[in-house]
């Protein structure tokens, strides 16, 4: 049967719409993260459920953390935290702003039945460089109240945008006192790309500066098989300085691009479609058809294999201590925990390599932003694509739309009638102009 030409990564696809989607790399959005995001979904893992099989020392904190950890951005029930702890997860990442404090509250309720000393809890605070010591201290005390605990294992700067924030005197003075009072044990930071503040500096610069600063013990950052360089450079410096390395956004195979449909829609409306985009569509079709051979040979069923391979890729790096997932239900918990202790195998490597060739161009790298300064309108390219990832890759539709609505500055509707200046500066050849327009369409439902 002749393959169809859908370039369709949508998590909302039905099997019948897939056409050539039997080729594994294009099943990306279907399945796992396409499940409803209710925390009650799936059977609560019992005693016989999957267990964590590997623990690693979190750098100079000396704490042995599970290689798979629980991210709290969507943590809507204490039951999920308890199930994670029962499965052997002992690292929990949350933030003051996650679910407006509800994530911390749910963690607080759950941990009361467990030995606190066996759990490592990180929470994070957003602030400007001029934050005062008293503000950090009072906000931290509120985190402690919500978490119902005497101490936070690691207090992180959330989404550290620049070196000024990294060195904020108020924060460091507060951490010093909180440590002396036994309320905070370690200090850390996170970053996954710009918040689109004018002062943003890139992730590698911020992370390596933090490692060399001497006051930071652990960090959370983005690293995956399509976005290696920055992450590997950071991990090298972290190893030298013995900094705890915790990861996020390790699975980039969730770009959901209904590109051909979007292009058809534009054509129907009489809107221009560039020759270069048409050429990409044709090339993409060729690649997908050639990948089908590999798919059949190894009996791959698409997205689950790609997801697992992407996760095994980061778990195989000796400098990585734990990989944090925003786990929303029991089924997801089981799936992630089942990957504990695993390593990349030959089929994984081949699959990732084929995926990179086929689809690498369609992924706007987390924490990149290299093209942004070339946009005359000042559109925050990388930030918008991250919101798009929250929507389509993580199933966090409402949060993604709210964040986009609240974005300061220009939005991607500016891209429609632009000459695409930014695209020429993308080292990864991402067709970003059309992806931004799609993202705008998705995030505004316009
Ligand atoms: S389009 Fe390219 S250069 Fe721009 S942020 Fe994305 S990956 Fe980086
Ligand atoms: S397409 Fe044009 S308006 Fe949109 S981000 Fe690129 S340069 Fe800016």
Q: Please tell me what DSSP assigns to residue 93.
A: E
CA of 423 to the centre of ligand 1 (A): 8
Q: Residues lining ligand 1, CB < 6 A?
A: 364-365, 368-371, 381-382, 426, 428, 430, 432
Which residue has its alpha carbon closest to ligand 2 atom 4?
415
What pLDDT score was predicted for residue 351?
A: 86
Query: Nearest CA to 116 among 166, 152, 146?
Result: 152
Residues 6+ apart with CB under 8 A from 326: 71, 72, 73, 74, 394, 396
End-to-end CA distance of the chain: 36
What pLDDT score was predicted for residue 417?
A: 83
Burial label, 324 (beta-carbon count in 10 A; 0-12, 13-18, 19+)? buried
Domains of the chain, start order:
55-252+310-337 (3.20.20.100)
Which residue has its alpha carbon closest to ligand 1 atom 3?
426
| Alpha carbon distance 65, 244 (integer Å) | 10
What pLDDT score was predicted for residue 393?
A: 79
Given ligand 2 and candidates 276, 368, 375, which is best to mutate, with the most ligand atoms within 8 Å of its CB? 375
What pLDDT score was predicted for residue 305?
A: 84
What pLDDT score was predicted for residue 255?
A: 45
What pLDDT score was predicted for residue 18?
A: 34
Q: Do residues 136 and 107 lie in contact, with contact meaning Cβ atoms separated by under 8 Å? A: no
- Taking the complete model, does pTM exceed 0.75, yes or no? yes
What pLDDT score was predicted for residue 13?
A: 33
Residues 6+ apart with CB under 8 A from 339: 68, 308, 311, 312, 315
Q: Residues lining ligand 2, CB < 6 A?
A: 375, 377, 379, 381, 414-415, 418, 420-422, 433, 436
| Alpha carbon distance 58, 56 (integer Å) | 6
What pLDDT score was predicted for residue 46?
A: 57
What pLDDT score was predicted for residue 47?
A: 62
Helix (H, G, I), strand (E, B) or coil at 169: helix
Which residue has its alpha carbon closest to ligand 2 atom 6?
422
| Alpha carbon distance 389, 83 (integer Å) | 27
Which helix H or strand E contains 191, and what residues bound it? strand 184-191
- Residues of the chain short of pLDDT 50, as ranges, are 1-40, 255-257
């Amino acid at each position: 049967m002749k393959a169809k030409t859908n370039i369709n990564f949508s998590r909302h696809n039905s099997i019948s719409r897939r056409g050539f989607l039997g080729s594994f790399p294009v099943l990306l959005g279907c399945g796992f993260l396409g499940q409803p995001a209710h925390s009650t979904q799936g059977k609560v893992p019992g005693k016989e459920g999957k267990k964590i099989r590997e623990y690693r020392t979190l750098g100079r904190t000396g704490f042995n953390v599970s290689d798979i950890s629980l991210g709290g951005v969507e943590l809507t029930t204490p039951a999920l935290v308890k199930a994670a702890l029962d499965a052997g997860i002992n690292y929990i990442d949350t933030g003051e702003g996650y679910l407006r404090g509800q994530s911390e509250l749910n963690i607080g309720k759950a941990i009361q039945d467990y030995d606190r000393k066996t759990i490592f809890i990180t929470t994070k605070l957003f602030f400007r460089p001029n934050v005062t010591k008293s503000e950090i201290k009072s906000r931290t005390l509120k985190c402690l109240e919500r978490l119902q605990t005497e101490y936070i294992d690691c207090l992180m700067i959330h989404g550290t945008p620049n070196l000024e924030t990294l060195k904020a005197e108020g924060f460091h003075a507060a951490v010093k006192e909180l440590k002396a009072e036994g309320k905070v044990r370690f200090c850390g930071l996170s970053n996954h790309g710009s918040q689109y503040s004018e002062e943003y500096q890139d992730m590698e610069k911020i992370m390596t500066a933090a490692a060399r600063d001497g006051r930071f013990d652990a960090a959370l950052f983005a690293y995956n098989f399509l976005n290696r360089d920055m992450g590997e450079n950071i991990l090298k410096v972290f190893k030298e300085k013995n900094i705890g390395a915790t990861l996020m956004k390790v699975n980039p195979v969730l770009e959901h691009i209904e590109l051909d449909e979007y292009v058809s829609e534009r054509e129907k409306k009489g809107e221009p479609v560039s020759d270069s985009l048409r050429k990409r569509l044709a090339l993409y079709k060729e690649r997908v058809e050639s990948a089908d051979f590999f798919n059949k040979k190894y009996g791959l069923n698409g997205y689950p294999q790609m997801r697992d391979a992407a996760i095994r890729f980061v778990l195989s790096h000796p400098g990585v201590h734990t990989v944090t997932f925003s786990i929303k239900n029991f089924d997801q918990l089981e799936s992630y925990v089942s990957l504990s202790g695993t390593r990349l195998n030959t089929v994984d490597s081949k699959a990732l390599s084929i995926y990179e060739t086929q689809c690498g161009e369609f992924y706007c790298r987390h924490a990149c932003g290299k093209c942004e300064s070339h946009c005359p309108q000042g559109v925050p390219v990388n930030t918008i694509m991250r919101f798009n990832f929250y929507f389509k890759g993580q199933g966090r539709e409402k949060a993604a739309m709210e964040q986009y609505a609240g974005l300061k500055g220009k939005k991607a509707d500016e891209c429609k009638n632009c000459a695409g200046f930014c695209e020429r500066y993308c080292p990864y050849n991402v067709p970003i102009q059309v992806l931004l327009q799609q993202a705008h369409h998705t995030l505004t439902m316009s």
